[in-house]
Structure 1
Amino acid sequence: MTDQETTTTTRQRIADALRADPATASELSANVGVSVSSVYGHLQHVARSVHGQDGEQFLVAPPECRNCGFSAFDDPVNYPSRCPECRSEGIEEAVFKIE
């Protein structure tokens, strides 16, 4: 573990990574060292804590179906297993950013 990993929480590291560059949950998982499913749980907390803090916004480019282009998923801070329109399992991951 680096010094930063011992002094900051996983959520702080995720928030810092999203302030630096947009990222998917898979990219955050690799950068922060936690599972993808864990990243989604942390993202929901990060979104709530960032909302309105110092004028920052938690932004989400929603997941999108590679087959039909559907992107109106109910919860963009979650990874859908398949498209509700065409039932395809080919879903592009959402991209998250704090600005």
Structure 2
Amino acid sequence: MNRFPVLRMLAAALLLALPSGALAESPAALVADGNPWAATMPNGRDVTITFFPDGRVTVKMGMMSRKMTWQPTEDGLCLFGGPGGDRCIRLEPTANGFVGFDGEEQALSLSR
């Protein structure tokens, strides 16, 4: 009996289950509600970011917009397809939103 196909199916099922479980425990669950966030970047640029529960992100900068994707992490989220490349951000709550850190550097602030 070949057990490898069964192991592959179990591994695939586990991988499919992880994002939803990770989302429930991550601050990303509060951010990814499909409603826009006012975001300020470290350079002072103001943008609007909308995180959707299905992993899509829309970033609007005036008349321009960019489509990206995101995935939850234990302490925040990772963004994929941005102009600066892929990056993971630790989210810390504030009175009106979150501050996102890439390592020790502030990467953005989100507010509503």
Higher relative contact order (CA 8 A, sep 6+): 1
Higher strand share: 2
Question: Does the pair score TM above 0.5?
Answer: no
Larger Rg computed on CA atoms: 2
